[in-house]
């Protein structure tokens, strides 16, 4: 009997070891990044948008409901996510420097996989092209082969949009007949074609792959197939629930959406700078086109995932879906990104891990059948693997590495410019093993945005490094968003924690839209004194956390909250 018990125990231990090895075996990675996509997806509770393919992915994945970008603009956010370093470490706040020579020779997420035997590939907009990635998308450091960019993208900023006068313009609203476009295609269609071709080329290879696919939409201009507008009849569109600039919003916090203003169709509206509202009928059309662009991008994601299934790769490939930042659709009287509001910093973050978030399928069964968004059937998202606590895009690098079977980078020291491989984020692997027991009010997401002045300027949205005078740092917890706008020296890259230009505090239980700033001048003076009294060895994030806890504790006492 004892011998039998020992055999049973041995078999149980052996089974546990096998399960652990299988769970940690190296898997392929399909890393999908959308451009300017806020959480306007069915799986994030937006009942208007039609995103059946991403929702299908989410139904078999772990969905992080509260994921935040570190800076709401393309190049800084992508560089931060792919190096797992915050913008104050990459020192990239604009599009005009390459981190390897500007701040430190940091290892990137794909480079980490490449160094461990993966074949790494890039399609579309993954790194921000240009100076920010050394005009090579960081090849050959990050990629095994040169990055692919769709040929039709060179027409994106040209006059391709037919106006009411029958002529072509460089418009914001740019629904087109694809057959009339150069090559009869559009950038995201080309990127999907190339990504599918690469998947086919790797399907029979023994070497694991890391394929990153960056879709350009819903980034402006809204050059999309015109048929997608039919999904969103204009008479069914609504304005943002809070379309006015909040009365107590500090002027420095407002972004004047200059890239919108520069488009031909918007210039014709003669909107006053900086607060002049866009006419309501045009606001509705912007929202219509944004949603249509999301559905168009969703169809490309569906094509890609369907190919993954058809090639028998869905059981051996982790799929990560994210965006670089969000996009304002008229909330607070703002458009585009360029701010610290949730609509600009909050992003979708979805992890599909075979055998972990979903059971492994037989090869003949399609894990991700393509769903036609134009079909009459209604698609819904159902999933109990949802994480509500705060996470950040800097968490992606260590989490993807660990869940794919590699070692996650170690946490960075306070000063890490000389450290090639480390992370400013957290490894979220524990969230896949244990069900979330409740919301952790202590968890914090940390974002920032630079400004050239205390009032809106023509370069407020995207100031060059040399013009940055103030940096707005935001702490986002479950209960509050707390922001301090602090003096910044772009020559020394130093923030002056006692030079408080303005503050914002939004109590989210009563004000989920972040419309009522309850930060006051007395708070301003108190914060300056408290900041000055803290030890200078503390990191800015820790300083702000202590200030935040002090301030909110006072507010809880005054309002009777617990």
The set of catalytic residues is 74, 128
CA 322 and chain centroid, separation: 5
CA 318 and chain centroid, separation: 18
Residue 31 bridge partners (DSSP): 212, 320
Residue 418 burial by Cβ neighbours in a 10 Å radius (0-12, 13-18, 19+): exposed
**What phi and psi, each to the nearest 5 degrees, are found at residue 36?**
70, 25
Cα separation, 87 vs 385, in Å, equals: 30
β-bridge pairing 209-214 and 28-34: parallel
Cβ atoms within 10 A of the Cβ of 238, count?
10
Closest CA to 71 of 514, 524, 463, 479: 463
Closest CA to 95 of 60, 131, 56: 131
Cβ atoms within 10 A of the Cβ of 65, count?
17
Gap between the terminal Cα atoms of the chain: 58
Cα separation, 301 vs 51, in Å, equals: 10
Cβ atoms within 10 A of the Cβ of 541, count?
16
Cα separation, 195 vs 413, in Å, equals: 37
Return the sign of the alpha-carbon dihedral for residues 490, 519, 514, 454.
negative
Q: Are 36 and 188 in contact (CB under 8 A)?
A: no
Closest CA to 357 of 446, 431, 265: 431
Per-residue DSSP letters for 308-344?
Answer: HHHTT-TTSEEEEEEES---EESGGG-EES-SSSHHH
Per-residue DSSP letters for 72-98?
Answer: SSHHHHHHHHHHT--HHHHT-SSSS--
Per-residue DSSP letters for 200-249?
Answer: HHHTT-SS-EEEEEE--TTSSSEEEEGGGGGGS-GGG----SS-SPPTT-
Cα separation, 432 vs 451, in Å, equals: 38
Cα separation, 448 vs 454, in Å, equals: 15
């Amino acid at each position: 009997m004892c011998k039998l018990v020992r055999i049973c125990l041995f078999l149980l231990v052996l089974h546990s070891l096998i399960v652990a090895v299988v769970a940690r075996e190296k898997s392929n990675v399909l890393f999908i990044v959308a451009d300017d996509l806020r959480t306007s997806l069915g799986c994030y509770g937006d009942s208007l948008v039609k995103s059946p393919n991403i929702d299908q992915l989410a139904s078999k994945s772990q969905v992080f409901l509260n994921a935040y970008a570190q800076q709401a603009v393309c190049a800084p956010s992508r560089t931060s996510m792919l190096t797992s370093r915050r913008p104050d470490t990459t020192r990239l706040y604009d599009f005009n420097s390459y981190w390897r020579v500007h701040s430190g020779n940091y290892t990137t997420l794909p480079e980490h996989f490449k160094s461990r035997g993966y074949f790494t590939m890039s399609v579309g907009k993954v790194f921000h092209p240009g100076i920010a990635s050394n005009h090579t998308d960081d090849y050959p450091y990050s990629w095994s082969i040169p990055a692919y960019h769709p040929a039709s993208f060179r027409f994106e900023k040209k006059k391709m949009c037919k106006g009411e006068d029958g002529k072509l313009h460089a418009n914001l609203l740019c629904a087109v007949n694809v057959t009339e476009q150069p090559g009869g295609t559009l950038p995201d269609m080309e990127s999907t074609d190339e990504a599918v071709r690469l998947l086919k080329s790797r399907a029979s290879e023994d070497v694991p792959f890391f394929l990153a696919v960056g879709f350009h939409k819903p980034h402006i201009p809204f050059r999309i197939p015109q048929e997608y507008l039919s999904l969103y009849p204009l008479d069914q569109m609504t304005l943002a629930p809070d379309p006015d600039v909040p009365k107590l919003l500090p002027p420095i916090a407002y972004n004047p959406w200059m890239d919108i203003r520069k488009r031909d169709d918007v210039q014709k509206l003669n909107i006053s700078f900086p607060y002049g509202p866009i006419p309501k009928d045009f606001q509705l059309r912007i929202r219509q086109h944004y949603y249509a662009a999301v559905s168009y991008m969703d169809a490309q994601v569906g094509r890609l995932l369907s190919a993954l299934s058809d090639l028998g790769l869905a059981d051996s490939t982790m799929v990560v879906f994210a965006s670089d930042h969000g996009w304002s659709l008229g909330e607070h009287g703002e458009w585009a990104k360029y701010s610290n509001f949730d609509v600009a910093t909050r992003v979708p973050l979805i992890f599909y891990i075979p055998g972990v978030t979903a059971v492994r399928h037989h090869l003949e069964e399609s894990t991700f059948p393509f769903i036609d968004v134009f079909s009459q059937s209604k698609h819904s998202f159902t999933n109990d693997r949802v994480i509500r606590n705060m996470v950040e895009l800097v968490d992606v690098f260590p989490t993807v590495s660990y869940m794919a079977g590699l070692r996650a980078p170690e946490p960075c020291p306070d000063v890490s410019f000389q450290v090639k491989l480390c992370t400013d984020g957290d490894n979220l692997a524990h969230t896949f093993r244990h069900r979330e027991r409740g919301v952790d009010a202590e968890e914090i997401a940390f974002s920032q945005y630079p400004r050239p002045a205390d009032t809106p300027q023509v370069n407020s949205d995207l100031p060059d490094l040399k013009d940055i005078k103030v940096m707005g740092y935001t702490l986002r917890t479950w209960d509050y968003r707390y922001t301090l706008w602090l003096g910044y020296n772009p020559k020394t890259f130093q923030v002056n924690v006692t030079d408080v230009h303005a503050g914002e505090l939004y109590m989210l239980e009563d004000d989920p839209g972040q419309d009522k700033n309850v930060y006051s001048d007395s708070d301003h003076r108190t914060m300056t004194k408290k900041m000055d009294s803290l030890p200078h060895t503390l990191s800015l994030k820790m300083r702000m956390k202590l200030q935040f806890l002090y301030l909110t504790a006072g507010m809880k006492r005054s309002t009777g909250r617990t």
